[in-house]
Structure formats: C-alpha cells, structure tokens
Copies of this chain bind each other. A is one copy, B any other.
Amino acid sequence: MQDDRPIVIVLAPDSFKGSLGARDACSAIAGGLRRVFPNAEIRARPMADGGEGTIDAVLAGGGERKAHDVTGAGGQRRTAGYGMISTPEGPTAIVEAAEIVGLTDPAGLSVAVWDRSTTGMGELLRALLDAGTRRFMIGLGGTSTNDGGAGMLAVLGVRFRDRAGQDVTPTLAGLARVASVDASALDERLASCSLTILSDVTNPLCGGLGATSVFGPQKGIRVEDVGAADDVLKRYADLVEGAFGTRAAHEPGAGAAGGLGFAAHLLGGLSRSGAEVVADLIGLDGALVGASWVLTGEGKSDAQTLAGKAPFVVARRAHAARVPATLLSGAVDRAALPDLGKVFAGCFALPEGPMTLAACIENAPSLLADRAEQLAHLWREAR
C-alpha cells in the first residue's frame, strides 16, 4: 500500500564510518522511504561532526570544493581537499585535518608516529592566508599525528631550537631535543583571523587523559613509550606557552588531533561542537520547519552518541522544532539503549537477522533502505 498524503521527512545522518558516507546514507534511506511514501518531500541534510565527511556535508549546502598540495603526515606530498563557503561574516575555509594528516592515509602510517608532523596543516593555512582568507573552520579528528601541532606552528613562523640553537624537526622525535621556542616571527596575519575548531574531543594535551595517553596507542605509540612521549609534549607545551605568553595545554580539546587542538587554541582558535556548527552551516533548523519526521544515524551508536555526536545534535534540534527523530545505526549498544530511547523516537540497527559485521558493511545501502522502508510502514500506520 502506498500513501499519497503529503509528508515532509528530513534525513540528517552522519556518515556510516567504514561503509558509506552521509550523502549515500541519505540516498539509501530516501529510496526505502519512497517505496511507502512516493510523494513525500524528502529534505536530505547529510551531517558531520567536524571529522571525516565535514567538507562534503557543509558543501552540500553550497560553496566550492577546492584542493591544495601539502606535505602529508609522513612527509610525502598529497592533495588535500577543502571547502570555501560564504557566510554572513565573510568567505570561510572549511578544513579537515584528516584530509592532510589522516589516520586513513597509508603513506602517513608507513612512517613511525614519532616522525609524523602536521606541517601540511600549516602549509594549507599559509596558502589560504596568502589568498586572503581570514575565516577558518578546522575539523579535528581522525589524525595520525601526535606532534602537539608543532609542524603547523613551525610553518606559520614559530622556531623550535635545540640547546645548540639549531632548528629541530617539528615531530615528536625532534621535540624530544627542543630547548627553546621563539614565536616572535609568527605570521602576523593570524591576529586578524577567526579560527573555529570543530571537535568533539575534550581531552587536555597532557597527562592521563591527554592526547598521548588516550589516543597515542591507536596511532602507533607503544604503550611503554606513552610516558616518555607525554613528557616530551609537556616540556614542549611549557616552552610554547611561554613563547606565546598564554596558556592552552589544559583547555578542553587541547588534546584533540594529537595536540593540534593545543596549537590551534594558541592561534586564537575557539572550540565549538563540530556537529552544532555543521548543523548551522547546512541549515538544519530551517529544514525542520514543517517536517513530520527526522531520520538520523551513524555507523555505531552508544553512550558516546549522547555526548554531542551528530545524531544527538540532530535529535536536540528536532526536539526544539517538535519533530520526532528516529535513529538508524549499523549497531546500537544495548547498554546505552535506555538513555538513547529518551532522546530518539526509536533506535534501530541495520541487521535483518543474525549477520556478520562484514555482511552489514557490504550490504549497508540496501539494509538501510529496507530498514527505512519498514519504519515508514510503521510510521504510516501509527499516524
């Protein structure tokens, strides 16, 4: 049975990491919904949280995709995509750290984490400054580096020297020998810039909850080296804070992206929730006006989802607009279901029966379409 009554449905999923991007997720969900509501007005607003997929999500609302050649985390040249959009405050660059020093870049991973650097991040910012850009939104997340942002700072004019006064390489290995930091030649154009940091990480730079302790091992720092690496960043942070005359290492989010968050804070960056910023940029609130139902989702939902991930931000805004938001995820953690159930008008997983993770990932588009179709059947009958 089909239903021809007009219905407005907003689709605002994050990407299903490892299987399909947010835009493809929208297409799959829309395909399933149309089998039940062929005449529905479907407003697709692919979401992101500042990590991978942020540029795509933001550009879906307008703007231009650009690219620039930079140095990757391991020293190899690579082409990094970024976006340029118009905002009421002026032209703004949307940058993803993962496009430059991403954890999914095999070339970067082929080099030891001690030798990786965020140099490319500085190169892209400098090029954008040269082109006249003064507004930046930088998505942190999914990086392979742990250099405290030293590579970026070095390109932008900060000098790192050893005891002999020689420049050291802005890597974790190089910073182990740093004895002085000089920020006097910092690119002065940065002072007139607006820098927004998009992140959902609130860790400080150092210590037990710091970048190295929490994220270092998954980037390749051996567990027995975590203490030494953390000490390197601690001394580095003291010297850099002294040179800038301001403190940032204890700020929530300083530990994002291997300490790139720390460096971005020193440059005047202000942290905002990536998902909130993206929701604003894509006009999610406007899309919710007059809508009957919102479908959001992500690869895997658990208690972290409620700590500001994209589906949570979608649900919060939908709630404000009095529109029910339903969650469709690859998997839903059972322990988090009671809390998730308070936020979402139903949380549903992709599998249609017992199946492996690999089968879920391989069939994600059709599973997503089928699940959306069945939810639509229920939705229609309940109305």
Q: Which residues of chain A have a CB within 8 Å of any CB of chain B?
A: 1, 35-36, 293, 300, 324, 326, 329-334, 337-338, 341-342, 344-357, 359-360, 366, 370, 373-383
Which residue of the partner chain, among B346, B357, B359, contacts A375 with CB atoms under 8 Å? Answer: B346
Decide yes or no: A346 and B300 within 8 Å by CB, A331-B352, A337-B373 being known contacts: no
CB distance from A141 to the nearest CB of B (A): 23
Which chain B positions have C-beta within 8 A of A332? 352-353
| Interface contact A355-B354, CB-CB below 8 Å | yes
Central interface residue in A370, A381, A383, by most chain B CB within 10 Å:
A381
| Interface contact B346-A349, CB-CB below 8 Å | no
Which chain B positions have C-beta within 8 A of A342? 1
Which residue of the partner chain, among B35, B333, B345, B374, contacts A346 with CB atoms under 8 Å? Answer: B374
Which chain B positions have C-beta within 8 A of A348? 348, 374
| Interface contact B345-A354, CB-CB below 8 Å | no
Which chain B positions have C-beta within 8 A of A366? 334
| Interface contact B377-A341, CB-CB below 8 Å | yes
Q: Which residue of B lies closest to A355 (CB)?
A: B354
| Interface contact A346-B383, CB-CB below 8 Å | no
Which residue of the partner chain, among B35, B353, B379, contacts A351 with CB atoms under 8 Å? Answer: B353
CB distance from A130 to the nearest CB of B (A): 48
- 16 residue pairs A–B, Cβ–Cβ below 8 Å: A35-B338, A293-B382, A330-B353, A332-B352, A334-B352, A334-B370, A341-B374, A341-B377, A345-B377, A345-B378, A346-B378, A349-B351, A353-B360, A378-B378, A379-B382, A383-B383
Which chain B positions have C-beta within 8 A of A380? 345
Central interface residue in A326, A378, A381, by most chain B CB within 10 Å:
A378
| Interface contact B353-A349, CB-CB below 8 Å | yes
Q: Which residue of B lies closest to A374 (CB)?
A: B346
CB distance from A20 to the nearest CB of B (A): 16
